[in-house]
Structure 1
Amino acid sequence: MNPTLAQRQWLARASLASILVAGLTLGVFAGARAIGLLAVGLVGLVLVAAGLWWSLARQGTLRVLAVLLTLGAPVWVLVAYTRAHLTWVAVLAVVLWLVAVATGRAALVRDDGAAEMPEHPAPPVRHPVLIMNPRSGGGKVRRFELRERAQGLGAEVLLLEWRDGSDVADMARKAAAEGADLLGVAGGDGTQAQVAEVAAALGLPFLVIPAGTRNHFALDLGLDRDDPAKALDALRDGVELHVDLGSAGGLPFVNNVSFGAYAEVVASPAYRDDKTRTALRLLPDMLAGHEGPRLSARAGHTEFVEPQALLVSNNPYGTGDIAGLGRRSRMDGGVLGCVGVKVTSAAQAAGLLRGRRATGLVRATATHVVVDADQDRIQVGVDGEAISLRVPVHCEVRPLALRVLVPRHRPGVRRARPMLDWRHIGRLALGRSRKGSGADDPNR
Structure 2
Amino acid sequence: MKPTMRGRRWLARVALAAAAGVVLVPAVFAGTRTFALLAVGIAGLALTAVAIWWGLSRRGLSRLLAALLVLVVPLWILVEYAAADLLWVVALACGLWLLALGAGRAAVTRYDEPDPMPEHPAPAFRHPVLIMNPRSGGGKVRRFALREKAESLGAEVLLLVWRGETDVAEMARKAAAEGADLLGVAGGDGTQALVAEVAADLRLPFLVIPAGTRNHFALDLGLDRDDPATALDALRDGVELHVDLGRANGRPFVNNVSFGAYAEVVQSPSYRDGKTRTTLELLPDLLLGHKGARLTARAGGTTFSGPQALLVSNNAYGTGDIAGLGRRARMDGGELGCVGVRVTGAAHAAGLLRGRRAVGLTRATAATVVVEADEEWIPAGIDGEALRLRTPVHCELRPRALRVLVPRQRPGLRKARPPVDWRLVTALALATAHTPRRDPPH
**Counterpart-to-counterpart distance in 2, 1:79 and 1:112:** 39
Deviation of 1:13 after TM superposition, in Å, equals 2.3
TM-fit CA distance, 1:95: 2.1
Secondary structure of the residue aligned to 2:109 is coil
Please tell me whether the aligned partners of residues 256 and 314 of structure 2 are also in contact (alpha carbons under 8 angstroms).
yes
Alpha-carbon separation, structure 2, partners of 1:192 and 1:435: 45
CA contact 1:11–1:103 (8 Å) conserved in 2: yes
Give the conservation status (yes or no) of the 8 Å contact 1:185–1:209: yes
Shift of 1:259: 1.1
Q: Which residue number in structure 1 is paired with residue 73 of structure 2?
A: 73
Counterpart residue number, 1:21: 21
8 Å contact kept, 1:4–1:111: no
Checking the alignment, whether the CA contact within 8 Å between 1:112 and 1:436 is kept in structure 2 is no
- 2:256 match: 256
- For residue 95 of structure 2, give the secondary structure of its aligned residue in structure 1: helix
In 2, Cα distance between equivalents of 1:331 and 1:260:
25
Choose 141-150 or 83-92, whichever is displaced more. Answer: 83-92
Partner of 1:141: 141
In structure 1, distance between residues paired with 2:10 and 2:57? 39
Deviations 1:84-138 (A, max 9, x none): 3333223222222232233334444335761521111111111100011111111
Report if aligned partners of 1:311, 1:324 keep a CA contact under 8 Å in 2: no
Secondary structure of 2:67's partner?
helix
Matched, 1:194 2:194: yes
Offset of residue 301 of structure 1? 1.6
Query: How far apart are 1:293 and its partner, in Å?
Result: 1.0
Contact 1:254 1:383 in 2 (8 A): yes
Equivalent residue runs for 1:37-56 within 5 Å: 37-56=37-56
Q: Structure 1 stretch 404-413 or stretch 20-29: which is displaced more?
A: 20-29
Q: Report the secondary structure of 1:163's partner residue.
A: coil
Deviations 1:178-205 (A, max 9, x none): 1111000001101000000000000000
* Aligned equivalent of 1:363: 363
Percent identity reads 70
Counterparts of 2:188 and 2:71, CA distance in 1: 36
How much does 1:320 deviate?
4.4
Separation in structure 2 between the aligned mates of residue 101 and residue 324 of structure 1, nearest angstrom: 19
- Partners of 2:334 and 2:398 within 8 A in 1: yes
Matches within 5 A, 1:162-241: 162-163=162-163, 165-241=165-241
- TM-score w.r.t. structure 2 length? 0.91
SS at match of 1:222: coil
Q: 1 CA distance for matches of 2:79 and 2:339?
A: 42
User: Per-residue displacement from partner, 1:45-85 (whole Å, max 9, x unpaired)?
Assistant: 44444444544444433333333333333333333333333
How has the CA–CA distance of structure 1 residues 241 and 211 changed in structure 2, closer, same or farther, with 3 Å as cutoff?
same
| Residue equivalent to 1:35 | 35
Alignment-derived partner of residue 271 in structure 1: 271
Partner of 2:223: helix, strand, or coil?
coil
Q: Which residue of 2 aligns with 1:102?
A: 102
Q: How far 1:424 moved relative to its partner?
A: 3.3
Mean CA deviation greater in 212-221 or 21-30: 21-30
- What's the CA shift string for 1:318-345, capped at 9, x where partnerless? 1245757532111010000011223344
Matched AA of 1:219: L
2:307 corresponds to 1:307 = yes
Amino acid at match of 2:202: L
Match of 1:160 in 2: 160
Inter-CA distance 97–270: structure 2 relative to 1 (3 Å threshold): farther
2:62 counterpart residue number: 62
Question: In structure 2, how many angstroms separate the alpha carbons of the residues matched to 1:30 and 1:345?
Answer: 35
- 1:150 alignment partner in structure 2: 150
Q: 1:217-274 CA distances to partner (integer Å, 9 max, x unpaired)?
A: 1011000101111100000000000000000010100000111112112223343345
What TM-score comes out, normalization by structure 1 length?
Answer: 0.91
Q: Which moved more, 1:350-359 or 1:288-297?
A: 350-359
Gaps of 5+ in 2: none
Distance across 2 between alignment mates of 1:136 and 1:28: 57
> What does 1:292-371 correspond to in 2, within 5 Å?
292-320=292-320, 325-371=325-371
Cα distance 1:40–1:342, how it changes in 2: closer, same or farther (>3 A)?
A: closer
Is the Cα contact below 8 Å between 2:319 and 2:325 reproduced in 1? no
In 2 relative to 1, CA 340–18 (structure 1 residues): closer, same or farther, beyond 3 Å?
same
Q: CA separation in 1, counterparts of 2:178 and 2:115?
A: 38
Judged with a 3 Å threshold, the aligned counterparts in structure 2 of structure 1 residues 185 and 301 are, in CA distance, closer, same or farther, namely same
Residue 388 of structure 1 is matched in structure 2 by 388
Deviation at 1:18, TM superposition (A): 1.8
Q: Find the aligned partners of 1:45 and 1:348 in 2 and give their Cα distance.
A: 14
Could you tell me how far apart the structure 1 residues matched to 2:304 and 2:320 are? 19
Confirm or deny: 8 A CA contact 2:312 2:337 kept in the other structure. yes
Letter in 1 for 2:12: A
Answering whether residue 398 of structure 2 is matched by residue 398 of structure 1, we say yes
Taking structure 1 as reference, are residues 27 and 343 closer, same or farther at Cα in structure 2, changes over 3 Å only?
A: closer
> How many residues get paired?
440
Letter of the 2:146 counterpart:
L
2:9 match: 9
Aligned-partner SS, 2:362: strand
1:439 corresponding residue in structure 2:
441
Does the CA-based 8 Å contact 1:115-1:414 persist in structure 2? Answer: no
Pick closer, same or farther for the CA change 1:263–1:158 going to 2, 3 Å.
Answer: same
Given the superposition, is the C-alpha separation of residues 106 and 269 from structure 1 closer, same or farther in structure 2, using an over 3 Å criterion?
A: farther
Alignment partner, residue 375 of structure 2: 375
Offset at residue 303 of structure 1 (A)? 1.4
Gaps of 5+ in 1: none
CA distance in 2 between partners of 1:324 and 1:38 (Å):
28
